[in-house]
């Protein structure tokens, strides 16, 4: 169960800003691009960049976000180590499905021209049908678009089956959103077992699987699964949140010729970065431990 949102909202934004640094690239597009370039130059990490500020509810704010994504696509034309992630709540779903889809298509079409991949992120269960409908409609026209499925939802087995007829690129995760027990698995171990089961089915259908997990045992089992099925390394990769310490594991994956991609969020304003951190904290208590550990390191080793 997540931490109560009311409790998280009491955390002062200056404190959130203090511990956000490892998890947010910074303010402005250049901060995200610079971080992605540094990760690739120093560690050979791939990146997917996301503009923080989801849950936009004004068309003018959506237009600003879309224009920023279009600019981002242009930046990435010479950066094949980068991709883009977008969320329906940041692309205008408050207005209508058609308005949101058209905005996402503008980004996807621009990304095609610059040879960049786009992933339509998955949010809570109220947007699952909308997201998958949008993904299928755009995938029929563009090969560079992917989406996300969450192993915790009971419906995901059927969603995978329904996508069997198209070669999909899917980020597979357990999902950060705390969903009702009527529609979702509530046990983390069961979610991870289901993720591996679903990955096997996706491999069988010929999909590309992007494993988004920090759990080392799950990663080991995913590697063994791909090996048993003879899946080429180009058809899977492992994705991690920026700032979550998994350096040794990530280095080994890269040494073995397997792609490692970081989710690199940046914001136009710090309030958006604070909102992102608070939302992740409310929905995922594990982040609290990462944050507290980071703060403790800063206190004990201020010059580090």
pLDDT (tens digit per residue) in 145-170: 999 999 999 999 999 999 999 999 99
Q: Is 274 helix (H, G, I), strand (E, B) or coil?
A: helix
The pTM of this model reads 0.88
Q: Is the pLDDT of residue 11 over 70?
A: no
Q: Which two tokens stand for residue 201?
A: 């089915």
Looking at every residue in the chain, the average pLDDT score rounds to: 89
Q: Is 88 helix (H, G, I), strand (E, B) or coil?
A: helix
- First vs last Cα of the chain: how many Å apart? 34
Angle at 177 between CA 190 and CA 285, to 5 degrees: 80
Pick the CATH number of 5-295 from 3.40.50.150, 3.30.499.10, 3.50.50.60, 3.20.20.220: 3.20.20.220
pLDDT (tens digit per residue) in 108-136: 999 999 999 999 999 999 999 999 999 99
Decide if 53 contacts 265 (C-beta within 8 A).
no
C-alpha–C-alpha distance, residues 34 and 49, integer Å: 11
Among the listed residues 117, 121, 169, 272, the single catalytic one is 121
E strand segments, 182-258:
208-212, 236-241
pLDDT (tens digit per residue) in 64-98: 999 999 999 999 998 999 999 999 999 999 999 99
Decide if 215 contacts 160 (C-beta within 8 A).
no
Among the listed residues 101, 152, 169, 171, the single catalytic one is 171
Q: Which two tokens stand for residue 161?
A: 């089956």
What's the pLDDT band for 6 if we cut at 50, 70, 90? Answer: low
User: What pLDDT does residue 181 have?
Assistant: 96
User: What pLDDT does residue 2 have?
Assistant: 47
Q: Residues of 38-69 as b/e, b for ≥16 C-beta within 10 angstroms?
A: ebbeeeebbbbbbbbbbebeeeeebeebbebb
Q: Is the pLDDT of residue 281 over 90?
A: no
Is 162 designated active site? Answer: no
Is 171 designated active site? Answer: yes
Instruction: Determine the length of the chain.
Output: 304
Q: Which two tokens stand for residue 249?
A: 């594991």
C-alpha–C-alpha distance, residues 276 and 297, integer Å: 22
Domain ranges of the chain: 5-295
Beta-bridge partner residues of 143: none
Decide if 61 contacts 103 (C-beta within 8 A).
no
């Amino acid at each position: 169960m997540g931490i109560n949102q009311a409790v998280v909202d009491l955390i002062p934004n200056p404190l959130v800003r203090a511990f956000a640094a490892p998890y947010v690239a910074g303010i402005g597009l250049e901060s995200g691009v610079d971080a992605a370039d540094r990760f690739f130059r120093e560690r050979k990490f791939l990146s997917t960049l996301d503009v923080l500020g989801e849950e936009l509810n004004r068309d003018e704010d959506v237009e600003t976000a879309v224009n920023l994504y279009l600019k981002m696509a242009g930046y990435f034309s010479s950066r094949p180590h980068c991709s883009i992630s977008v969320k329906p709540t940041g692309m205008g779903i408050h207005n209508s499905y058609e308005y949101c889809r058209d905005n996402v298509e503008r980004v996807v079409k621009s990304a095609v021209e610059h040879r960049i991949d786009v992933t339509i992120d998955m949010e809570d269960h109220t947007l699952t049908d909308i997201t998958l409908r949008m993904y299928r409609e755009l995938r029929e026209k563009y090969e560079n678009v992917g989406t996300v499925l969450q192993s915790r939802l009971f419906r995901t087995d059927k969603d995978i089956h329904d996508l069997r007829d198209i070669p999909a690129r899917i980020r597979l995760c357990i999902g950060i959103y705390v969903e009702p027990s009527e529609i979702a698995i509530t046990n983390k171990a069961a979610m991870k077992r289901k993720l591996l089961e679903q990955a096997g089915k996706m491999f069988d259908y010929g999909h590309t699987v992007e494993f988004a997990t920090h759990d080392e045992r799950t990663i080991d089992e995913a590697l063994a699964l791909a090996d048993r099925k003879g899946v080429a390394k180009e058809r899977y990769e492992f994705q991690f949140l920026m700032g979550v310490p998994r350096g040794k594991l990530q280095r080994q994956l890269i040494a073995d010729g397997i792609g490692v991609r970081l989710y690199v969020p940046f914001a136009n304003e710090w309030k958006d970065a604070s909102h992102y951190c608070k939302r992740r904290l409310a929905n995922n208590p594990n982040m609290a431990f990462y944050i507290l550990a980071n703060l403790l390191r800063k206190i004990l080793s201020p010059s580090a």
